[in-house]
Amino acid sequence: MLSEPVRADSARQQLPLWQLLQATAQLVQAVRRGASATPLLAELQSDLRPGVQALAYQVWRQLGRAEALRALLVSRQPPPQIDALLCTALALSWNETQAPYDPHTLVNQAVEAAKKSPAMKGQSGFINACLRRFLRERDAMVANTDVQPVARWNHPSWWIERLQQDYPSQWQPMLAANNRPAPMTLRVNLRQGTVQEYQQRLEQAGLISVRNGDYGLTLVQACPVERLPGFADGAVSVQDAAAQLAAPLLLQDSGLGLGSRILDACAAPGGKTAHLLELSDAQVIALDIDPQRCARIGQNLERLGLQAKVLAADASSPDAWWDGQKFDAILLDAPCSASGIVRRHPDVRWLRRPSDLAQLARQQSQLLAALWPLLKTGGRLVYCTCSVFHEEGQARIQAFLANNTEARLLPSPGHLQVVFADSGSAVPDNRLIDHDGFYYALVEKRAA
């Protein structure tokens, strides 16, 4: 997973701004066509990637506003490439206090990007006219769009309506939290030392952190992992505070230890697998459908000095990979809309469609139905998703419990909303202070 990028102006000396804007607009257009930004960013040349990622993240966090402003500027939506560049410039310049560059500079360089693009030949005058008009009439246009929910909250209308339905009194702070960059939170490997000890190591390295949960430390200022003391030797991993709840929830009061068998289904890239192994001596089977992502599980475990059996297979088809021995515990981190991690992947809100939720819900139910028979009587299953939508969380578990009378729901976190808090404040009781949105359910299998 790509971490939050550095500010775009750090690349100012290396590459001209028009080139960054051109590449950013191409990325915005690709997401509009249905492509995920993460692999596209990874494919960019190394000197281009940091600046483009920084600009693109800001554009996606302001795209609703940009599209509303563009609608005031032109009567018909321009062709895709031109519209992507126009909306990119509007998203970056509409709020002068948050603009990564002076708005007039952004306009000049957007025009230059159009001039230097063969596909936009002859359209630089149109881009210039639109953006110059916007600069002249900015206050009135922004005020005009303030009343539009998509412009105000920078999420699709269906997403806003879904959150209003699921969280009638909390949807506004959740949307606002989505538009803030996520923090860099670390999970300390307790096999190598305590959280307090590692916090001291960070301080000695000039890195200030605050406690975030039982195993986590959130950095006040993000940094490259190479700066983290002992990272290469497995002392610590990068993992959101909410994601750190999975392993301890499955293991608590379970008696799982040496000789126990745990299945981590949909395990890539292996953060929860590693946490299970850091906290127990159980045998863990890490399963994922993507062979390349399975390779990442192996790499992460190797860095941490941990071992698991890694299988590339479809969790919903056990006949193809299961050895017939039932598991003492199962962790199912099911594929989902990723609506809880939008602050880390701001393109997701524009990538998802309302129909995706029903399709994902069917897949989640299929995975639960396929894996439940593999669990021993008395065993436990944790179902989790990095989604805040009820359809992918409590609705799935309620349907599962209704169809499986031997399943009993144990005390569980349930839906965790996206939370933003001042990571510079002291938190004496180790509660979570800043985390992504998740859903957790712990289910026990009773005798039939």
CB under 8 Å to 74, separation ≥6 — which residues?
A: 130
Q: Is residue 386 flagged as an active site residue?
A: yes
Tell me the residue length of the chain.
448
d(CA 401, CA 384) in angstroms, rounded, equals 15
The amino acid that residue 273 corresponds to is: T
Q: Are strands 375-385 and 327-333 parallel, antiparallel or unpaired?
A: parallel
3-state class (DSSP) for residue 159: helix
3-state class (DSSP) for residue 342: coil
CB under 8 Å to 112, separation ≥6 — which residues?
A: 16, 18, 124
CB under 8 Å to 9, separation ≥6 — which residues?
A: 100, 101
Q: What is the DSSP string of 56-86?
A: HHHHHHSHHHHHHHHHHH-SSPPPHHHHHHH
d(CA 299, CA 145) in angstroms, rounded, equals 48
Question: Peptide bond before 269: cis, by omega within 30 degrees of 0?
Answer: yes
Indicate which residues carry an active-site annotation: 386
